Structure 1
Amino acid sequence: MTTKLKGADILALGFMTFAFFLGAGNMIFPPLAGLQAAGDLGLATIGFLLTAVGLPLLTIIAVALAGGGLEALARVLPKGLALLLCVALYLILGPFFATPRTALVAYELGFAPFISAPGPLAQALYSLAFFGLTFYLAIRPGKLLAVVGKVITPVLLLLLGAIALTLMVAPPGVAGASVEAWHQAPFAKGFLEGYMTMDTLGALLFGLVIVNALKAKGVEDRRDQFRYLCMAGGIAATGLALVYVTLFHLGADSGSLVSNPKAGSDVLVPAIQALFGAAGLYVLAAVVTLACLTTAVGLTSACAEYFSLTFPRLGHVQVAAVVAAGSALVANVGLAQLIAISVPVLFFVYPVAIALVALRLLAGPVGQQRWGQQLVVAVTAAFALFDGLKAAGVTMPALLSSLPLFDAGMGWLLPASAALVVMALGRNRGQALAEAVEG
């Protein structure tokens, strides 16, 4: 007999889901994007919310429908390619990009503003300490992360509420004009900027974690799991939307406070200081550090669990140690450089993840024919590769420039949609043929 959750349990589950997503990317990208899109804030914010809030929510729903995590969604691919995709995504979310970024954001927002000589040595020592603690927590299962999450979430929401109210009463600065790239295509720029949060990729990991948490509470019925997961995802999505909208407006109203910012921290720190003084910086530092630490521990644990189960010769502790050590090493490249390296990779990986989610959500109208699913993923990956190479600075053939949205970095969208249509038509023709044979 399955357990029914009470309202307080559902709210706690939603807060836990929100805490999973709350990390480095949530804090650093919206302020800079808001500053750069100040004159076109509405369209830019909507585009950003689609990929940074809407897609993670849809991914959680797709994971619930598939009855598993990334591995379940990737079953549409040949076994070898599915394994390669899973390994690649876990490495991206692990030691290659997402996990090192947590330490760099915690350093820039939670440590560097309070020391007299921030630099490479201080950053390296901080990363070693940060990932040493991450490893210690990742190999000790318990309720620590849940407790930290319960502290982080309400404190951050209070801080964001205070920012929102203060922005309405006394903005910290004056909004400037949009930079040229944002003014030309604010919606597309916002949409692509949402990739950088990596929340959709994170949802591929966290969705299964939430399902397992429901099972631990005695919720065994698949329909109840789906319903509660949607509720939790809705609560988390609402929280994330509030975070992003607030930080977009904070960045937009900070035009007179900063000049030539290179990262979101260059906008967020002076804006918070202008609003709340030194006390605000200390609160921001504590919340961001705990949020980044929670995310780092969660990602390290998820990577250790996946690789130790997929490759039984690898132990959980050993994998966690490699992830933590690798993350500490990669963190030495610095935040700006790490983000620059990750952009082409995300331009390629994100559309593939979107295709897998879409195939699960649209299984009713387009069917689940294996040939069609593989066609959609292959077409998406091929054109996303061109987008990624273009983002890396590789010169593309002139013919590709005529493809709709290619110049905006979304050249994959129309071909992938066409592949979905072909898949749906193939399913309908197959059904008509079967009915004719039966008749």
Structure 2
Amino acid sequence: MTRLKGPDLLALGFMTFALFVGAGNIIFPPIVGLQAGPSVWIAALGFLITAVGLPVITVIALAKVGGAMDSLSSPIGKTAGTILAAVCYLAVGPLFATPRTATVSFEVGLAPLTGNAPLPLFLYSLVYFAVVLAVSLYPGRLLDSVGRVLAPLKIIALAILGVAAFMLPLGEIGEATPAYQAAPFSQGFINGYLTMDTLGALVFGIVIVNAIRSRGVESPRLITRYAIIAGLIAGVGLALVYISLFRLGAGSHGIAGDATNGAAVLHAYVQHTFGDLGSTFLAALISLACLVTAVGLTCACAEYFSRLLSLSYRTLVLLLAGFSLLVSNLGLSTLIQVSVPVLTAIYPPCIVLVALSFCWNLWNSPGRVVAPVMLVALLFGLVDAVNAAGFAAQLPLLLKHLPLAEQGLGWLVPSVLTLIAALIFDRLRGEPATQTA
């Protein structure tokens, strides 16, 4: 029986960590730290739940079923499961996350030097996705190219930034914004959505499992064990990165008090602390972080859609990289503006699916419980999405006053109530009828 040796297992953990840490993971915590003020660690707790806890739990849930999202969504039926998987893959793939990696890395790293004009962005994204394409064409080498080369470089760069945040603080913590004064925990919780890590975990599950299998490991038990270890390594790394970036943002009020996004906070801190050399360092860090994530997303999407469509993996890699190139040139503001309500809508049913996957063996029929709770989570997630899109005035009065609606969690109470009702129904119906020959 083939087993992973220590260096391979560590490389797998580094690869998993590197796949998760993209531009969003680096730019969102500093702005949370800046805006949360004295409540930074309460907001950080909410953020860590959705940006670390849920992704790690998702990796574990997927590892238990072999890595494929199709298996995880089996209780809701093949058609609904396929639709959900396709939406998740497209959201964290060519529609939002993959193009965002190029746009953010350009605007944070190179735009201050080249200007934010369309031509420099196009030339940068062209080279960027050419590299993504070249690496993604050989998914069997991910453990070597990402786990042994790119991931360690990424970790070293993040470690330097993290140590600097604690050893070289800039000043005192400023006042919290009104939103964080009112509800710091829920604000952090919702901002954790924007990292897309839970959706990314649903996508990366198959990449992690395939990386394990590429080393000759075939035992389902060992694959599950190694994937769980990799997820835990990645989770610890993510938590350390976020905590250091929260600290960086919280202490940057004196130099970036008027910043509206984490990129501005980061740039101000690095420029103040390290000078022009720091700006170059930041550009390299963001580009490397984004590149690794883009490779993982492209590989995962191509792997999934090659099984769904009559197209080869290599053809899909080419199409996905080309489409992501086009979308990235729409600009960061447009991408974020469109992605926020979409993520607000699709996160709740995905959270429900992952959370309930650990309880299947407790019920007579998992489908009786999982399907209705996910449907309710989706419907009320859509209500939250309408609110996030700025159209709250068009909602019925009843939907405006749902419990936790002001915190963007209007889906939670209806989902819990539906879960209770579904559990009672499942217990009353008993075991599903089985056909006998």
Structure 2 length-normalised TM: 0.92
Deviates more, 1:203-212 or 1:219-228: 219-228
CA contact (8 A) 1:152 1:287 kept: no
1:381-421 Cα shifts (integer Å, max 9, x gaps)? 11111111111112322212332111111111111122222
Partner of 2:58: 59
Partner of 2:347: 350
Report how far residue 107 of structure 1 moved.
0.5
- Which of 159, 162, 168 matches 1:170? 168
5+ unaligned residues in a row in structure 1: which ranges? 435-439
Partner of 2:382: 385
- In structure 2, what is the Cα distance between the partners aligned to 1:300 and 1:432? 42
- Which of 295, 305, 308 matches 2:306? 308
Distance 1:226 1:17, change over 3 A: same
Deviates more, 1:189-198 or 1:331-340: 331-340
Aligned counterparts, 1:11-410, within 5 A: 11-115=10-114, 117-141=115-139, 143=141, 146-312=144-310, 314-366=311-363, 368-395=365-392, 396-410=395-409
Deviates more, 1:125-134 or 1:26-35: 125-134
SS at match of 1:410: coil
- In structure 2, what is the Cα distance between the partners aligned to 1:144 and 1:214? 10
CA contact (8 A) 1:160 1:246 kept: no
Deviates more, 1:131-140 or 1:96-105: 131-140
- Please tell me the residue identity of whatever aligns with 2:192: G
SS at match of 1:111: helix
- In structure 2, what is the Cα distance between the partners aligned to 1:64 and 1:370? 20
- Please tell me the residue identity of whatever aligns with 1:32: I
Report how far residue 181 of structure 1 moved.
0.9
CA contact (8 A) 2:106 2:124 kept: yes
Deviates more, 1:342-351 or 1:78-87: 78-87
Distance 1:423 1:366, change over 3 A: farther
CA contact (8 A) 2:3 2:217 kept: yes
- In structure 2, what is the Cα distance between the partners aligned to 1:227 and 1:133? 32
CA contact (8 A) 2:18 2:154 kept: no
Report how far residue 431 of structure 1 moved.
4.6
- Please tell me the residue identity of whatever aligns with 2:243: V
- Please tell me the residue identity of whatever aligns with 2:47: F
- In structure 2, what is the Cα distance between the partners aligned to 1:388 and 1:162? 37
1:88-144 Cα shifts (integer Å, max 9, x gaps)? 2111112110000010121022222333x3323322222222223322332244536
- Please tell me the residue identity of whatever aligns with 1:17: T
Report how far residue 194 of structure 1 moved.
0.5
CA contact (8 A) 1:348 1:384 kept: yes
CA contact (8 A) 2:11 2:147 kept: no
SS at match of 1:296: helix
CA contact (8 A) 2:139 2:299 kept: no
CA contact (8 A) 2:154 2:288 kept: no
Report how far residue 265 of structure 1 moved.
1.0
Partner of 1:437: none
Report how far residue 430 of structure 1 moved.
4.0
SS at match of 1:275: helix
- In structure 2, what is the Cα distance between the partners aligned to 1:390 and 1:295? 30
1:194-226 Cα shifts (integer Å, max 9, x gaps)? 111111111112112222222233333322222
- Please tell me the residue identity of whatever aligns with 1:175: I
Distance 1:19 1:224, change over 3 A: same
Report how far residue 365 of structure 1 moved.
3.7
- In structure 2, what is the Cα distance between the partners aligned to 1:397 and 1:298? 41
Q: How many residues align?
A: 431
Report how far residue 11 of structure 1 moved.
2.0
CA contact (8 A) 2:30 2:248 kept: yes
Identity of matched residues, %:
45
SS at match of 2:405: coil
SS at match of 1:338: helix
1:160-212 Cα shifts (integer Å, max 9, x gaps)? 44344433343124321111112111111101101111111111121122222
Structure 1 length-normalised TM: 0.92
CA contact (8 A) 1:149 1:294 kept: no
- Please tell me the residue identity of whatever aligns with 1:57: V
5+ unaligned residues in a row in structure 2: which ranges? none
Deviates more, 1:36-45 or 1:392-401: 392-401
CA contact (8 A) 2:207 2:296 kept: no
1:24-79 Cα shifts (integer Å, max 9, x gaps)? 21111111111111221011000000000000000011101222322212222233
Report how far residue 355 of structure 1 moved.
1.3
- In structure 1, what is the Cα distance between the partners aligned to 2:167 and 2:238? 23
- Please tell me the residue identity of whatever aligns with 1:357: V
Deviates more, 1:59-68 or 1:40-49: 59-68
1:273-330 Cα shifts (integer Å, max 9, x gaps)? 2222222222222222122112112212222222222111x23333223222221222
Distance 1:220 1:305, change over 3 A: closer
Distance 1:419 1:176, change over 3 A: same
What is the CA RMSD across the aligned residues, in angstroms? 2.2
Deviates more, 1:204-213 or 1:37-46: 204-213
CA contact (8 A) 1:366 1:421 kept: no
Deviates more, 1:170-179 or 1:146-155: 146-155
